[in-house]
Amino acid sequence: MRVMKLTLHIWKQKGSQSKGQFVSYQLDQLSPDLSFLEMLDILNESLIKDKKEPIAFDHDCREGICGSCSLRINGSSHGPNRGQASCQIHLRQFKDGDELWIEPFRAKSFPVIRDLIVDRSALDRIVQVGGYISVKTGSAPEAHSIPVQKNKADTAFASAACIGCGACVDACKNASASLFVGAKLMHLSSLPQGKTEEKTRTLKMVQQMDKEGFGACSHTGKCEAVCPKEISLKTIAQMNRNFIKHSLS
Q: What is the pLDDT of residues 207-218, one digit of tens each?
A: 999 999 999 999
Summarize the chain as % helix, strand, coil (round to 5).
40, 15, 45
CA distance 16 to 71: 17
- Residue 53 per-residue DSSP state: P
Give me the phi and psi of 118, to 5 degrees please: -120, 160
CA-wise closest residue to 43 among 12, 14, 70: 12
Average pLDDT, the chain: 94
Per the CB < 8 A criterion, the answer to whether 204 and 212 are in contact is no
pLDDT of 198 over the 90 cut: yes
Using CB atoms within 10 Å of the CB of residue 63, give its burial: 0 to 12 exposed, 13 to 18 middle, 19+ buried: exposed
DSSP alpha helix (H) spans, 196-248: 198-211, 222-226, 234-248
The model's pLDDT over 175-189, given as tens digits with 9 standing for 90+, comes to 999 999 999 999 999
CA distance 22 to 171: 20
pLDDT of 144 over the 90 cut: no
CA distance 99 to 230: 27
pLDDT of 118 over the 90 cut: yes
CB atoms within 10 A of CB 1: 6
pTM greater than the 0.85 cutoff: yes
pLDDT at 143: 66
pLDDT at 142: 74
